[in-house]
C-alpha cells in the first residue's frame, strides 16, 4: 500500500502552516507537492457519503468524517490518531468539542451534546453513537 510522505526522512522536519525556506529547493519538490495536495480543500461531503452508505459501512464513513476534522483541530497528524484510543487521551477541550459538534450537526445530521461528545470514550464508540442518533441512518 502506497503512503504519501509529508516529512523529510533524514532530518525529520515537517511542514507547518508557513513552509520553511528550504521548500523552494528542487530536491524538496516532492515534499512540497505532497503538502500542497494535503492542504487542498477537500470537497468530500460526508453527508452524501452517509446517505449512500449501507449499514455495515456507515460507521466507517462516520469515523472517516471525524478523522477528517479531529487531527487538524487537535494539531496532530492523521497517523497519530487511533480510533480505539479514548478521546480523553487527546487534548480535546470544550472549544474543539464545540467545533466538532458543529461539524457533526452539519455534515452527519446528528444533534449531539458537547458533554456526550467529551465523555463518549473512543472515536469508534463516538461514531457508533452518532450513527444511532443520525437522521440519515441508524446502526443496528
- Is the pTM higher than 0.75? The answer reads no
Burial, 139: exposed, middle or buried (Cβ in 10 Å; 0-12, 13-18, 19+)?
middle
Is pLDDT above 50 for 2?
Answer: no
Q: What is the pLDDT of residues 42-85, one digit of tens each?
A: 567 888 888 887 777 888 888 988 998 898 888 888 888 898 99
Domains (range + CATH), the chain: 1-40 (no CATH), 46-133 (1.10.1200.10)
Q: End-to-end CA distance of the chain, in Å? A: 32
Q: Report pLDDT for 139.
A: 46
DSSP string, 12-79: --B--SS--GGGGSGGGHHHHHHHHHHHSPP---HHHHHHH--HHHHHHHHHHHHHHHHHHHTT--GG
Determine which helix (DSSP H) or strand (DSSP E) holds 115, and give its type and residue range. Answer: helix 114-118
Q: Report pLDDT for 43.
A: 61
Name every residue whose Cβ is closer than 8 Å to that of residue 71 and which is 6 or more positions away in sequence.
77, 78, 80, 81
Segment 31-38 mean pLDDT:
70
Amino acid at each position: 500500500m502506497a503512503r504519501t510522505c509529508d516529512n523529510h526522512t533524514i532530518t525529520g522536519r515537517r511542514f507547518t502552516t508557513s513552509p520553511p525556506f528550504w521548500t523552494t529547493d528542487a530536491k524538496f519538490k516532492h515534499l512540497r507537492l505532497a503538502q500542497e495536495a494535503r492542504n487542498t480543500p477537500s470537497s468530500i461531503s460526508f453527508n452524501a457519503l452517509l446517505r449512500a452508505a449501507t449499514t455495515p459501512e456507515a460507521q466507517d464513513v462516520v469515523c472517516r468524517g471525524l478523522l477528517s476534522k479531529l487531527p487538524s483541530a487537535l494539531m496532530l497528524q492523521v497517523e497519530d490518531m487511533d480510533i480505539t484510543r479514548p478521546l480523553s487521551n487527546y487534548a480535546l477541550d470544550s472549544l474543539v468539542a464545540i467545533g466538532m459538534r458543529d461539524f457533526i450537526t452539519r455534515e452527519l445530521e446528528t444533534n449531539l451534546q458537547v458533554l456526550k461528545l467529551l465523555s463518549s470514550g473512543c472515536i469508534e464508540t463516538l461514531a457508533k453513537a452518532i450513527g444511532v442518533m443520525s437522521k440519515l441512518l441508524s446502526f443496528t
